[in-house]
Structure 1
Amino acid sequence: MSKRHQYVDLLASLPALPATPFGREPLPISAIRLERRLETLSDAHRDTLEALESLLDWRHLGLELSTVAYIHRYRQAAPRLAEQGVKDLVEAQLEQCTLVAALRRRRSGDPAPALGETWGIGPRLAHIGAHWQAALFGLGAVFPWLAEAREHLAQDRPRELERRLIEENWRRLERARRYDRFDFREVVIYWLRWRLIAAWRRYNAEAAQRRLRADIARGLGDYGVLFQEVESDG
């Protein structure tokens, strides 16, 4: 079977994803079942998917992994990702993170990254540094979502920012789909889209937990301090 149709059976076995990542319907396939379906990938493709997962699970960045170490990890994986035809998919998402990080740094009053500093991913790092004080780093026409992201940051609207970033990634992956191909790239696109839906569900769940804890704390009032003291004594 040609590489073009290498994973016809696998992709045909995966349920259609929702039209939008923001719906209320449950995920059409669980993480466990999706992982089991992906076991049919070749060894090389499974290794590549693991490399992608290690790059996209940046929740511990800054805690367990420094920015420099993370970027080094990406540079090591990049040749393999390019060989498998999926480097552009992950690089676009990581460049988005770099741009948001640049907005945060500038908003905090940080100077432009020093020449040669290891601080982000993407082909426009030098451009961002050279246009640090320009509106949207001179990239507003290239990234129309950047103006909205800056506004959400300025107004302290993390949920709206998260939604806008997920929406942009979703649209980009939709544009990348090739309906006449059933290769590894299409499997990765499905997997990335599934992750976006799961990320939004997780973000909403975590936000709900934070709100619940805040409501409980407000309801307890001074009793909350008492309970904390009892727990510490125990």
Structure 2
Amino acid sequence: MKYVVLMASLPPLGSLFEATAPPISRLKLESRLGLLEAADLQTLEQIAHLIAWPTRPLERTDAAFIEEAHRFLASNRSPTLRRLVTQRLELRTIVAAFRRRRRGESQPPTGEVWGFGAWVGLIERNWSAPTFQLEVIFPWVRQAHDLLEKDDLVGFETLQFSVVWAMLNRLEFGHTFDFEALIIYLARWSLVSRWSCYNGDIAVTRFRELVDAGLGNHKEILSSASQ
């Protein structure tokens, strides 16, 4: 019942790229989350922390972070939330591979845990292939490669917005008034919020900085894990 009340109180977000501002402010959104129980808030914070990879303490290694991700996936009972976390971290890994290669790494990283998910081995075996042989699995990877070849960093960032939005659309199926629906809404709200204040020049600068940071990526939030 609490999720029905909560979701009914949240305005539709509309389409991503047409938004000039989120239809609900962060302050009001956080106020709505006061309806959640402590266990729900803890799960929300866990997911936000995993998605917002760069917020991890600097002294923690990628290996420790990935181990934490696996613990969450093993303990959480929701297939939808496990898919959400898995898909987002796999996306981060693919983007990280592009960035590493762009900064001149002619071979995949050795002796370190640098990526997450089922496709790390395939990426490493096909490091020199334009799309890491991933285009059949992820058709958007071809477009990502082509955008980077043209040095269209704004287009590359925009593509990532589109890919994540499409992921969330697929995950939404079957969820309307439950906890999964809330998490998906918050993830979408984060994208709308970021897009509404998106600045192409800043995005280009950020990309060039992140090329030097391996898997580290732009910060994305879920409500209380604010940027």
Under TM normalisation by the shorter chain, which class is it? 0.7 to 0.9
Kindly report which structure 2 residues correspond to 1:75-86, keeping only aligned pairs within 5 A, or say none. Answer: 75-80=70-75, 82-85=76-79, 86=81
Q: Alignment identity in percent? A: 36
Given residue 83 of structure 1, which amino acid in structure 2 is its aligned partner?
A: R
Secondary structure of 2:198's counterpart equals helix
Distance (Å, rounded) in 1 between the aligned partners of 2:55 and 2:66 = 14
1:66–1:117 CA distance, 2 compared to 1 (3 A) = closer
Is the Cα–Cα contact under 8 Å of residues 11 and 187 in structure 1 kept in the other structure?
yes
Given residue 170 of structure 2, which amino acid in structure 1 is its aligned partner?
A: R
Q: Does residue 127 of the first structure (1) align with residue 94 of the second (2)?
A: no
Q: Does residue 98 of the first structure (1) align with residue 132 of the second (2)?
A: no
Instruction: Give 1:111's aligned residue.
Output: 107
1:147–1:62 CA distance, 2 compared to 1 (3 A) = farther
Instruction: Give 1:14's aligned residue.
Output: 10
Is the Cα–Cα contact under 8 Å of residues 39 and 46 in structure 1 kept in the other structure?
no
Instruction: Give 1:153's aligned residue.
Output: 148
Instruction: Give 2:65's aligned residue.
Output: 70
Is the Cα–Cα contact under 8 Å of residues 17 and 195 in structure 2 kept in the other structure?
yes
Given residue 105 of structure 2, which amino acid in structure 1 is its aligned partner?
A: G
Instruction: Give 2:49's aligned residue.
Output: 54
Distance (Å, rounded) in 1 between the aligned partners of 2:183 and 2:192 = 14
Instruction: Give 2:26's aligned residue.
Output: 31
Distance (Å, rounded) in 1 between the aligned partners of 2:36 and 2:175 = 19
Across the aligned residues of Structure 1 and Structure 2, the Cα RMSD in angstroms comes to 2.5
Is the Cα–Cα contact under 8 Å of residues 17 and 194 in structure 1 kept in the other structure?
yes
Shift of 1:62: 8.8
**Aligned counterpart in structure 2 of residue 88 of structure 1, from 77, 83, 93:** 83
Q: Which has the higher contact order (CA 8 A, sep 6+)?
A: 2
**Aligned counterpart in structure 2 of residue 184 of structure 1, from 179, 185, 205:** 179
What CA deviation, in whole Å up to 9, does each residue of 1:36-69 have, x standing for no partner?
A: 1122122221101001111222345695654334
Secondary structure of 2:138's counterpart equals coil
Secondary structure of 1:83's counterpart equals coil
**Aligned counterpart in structure 2 of residue 197 of structure 1, from 178, 192, 195:** 192
Given residue 113 of structure 1, which amino acid in structure 2 is its aligned partner?
A: P
Shift of 1:72: 3.3
Secondary structure of 1:139's counterpart equals coil
Distance (Å, rounded) in 1 between the aligned partners of 2:74 and 2:6 = 25
What CA deviation, in whole Å up to 9, does each residue of 1:117-159 have, x standing for no partner?
A: 3111111111211222233111101111111211222333222
Alignment length, in residue pairs? 202
Instruction: Give 2:160's aligned residue.
Output: 165
TM-score (norm 2): 0.78
Given residue 147 of structure 1, which amino acid in structure 2 is its aligned partner?
A: R
Structure 1: any 5+ residue segments left out of the alignment?
211-234
CA radius of gyration, larger in: 1
TM-score (norm 1): 0.76
Secondary structure of 1:104's counterpart equals helix
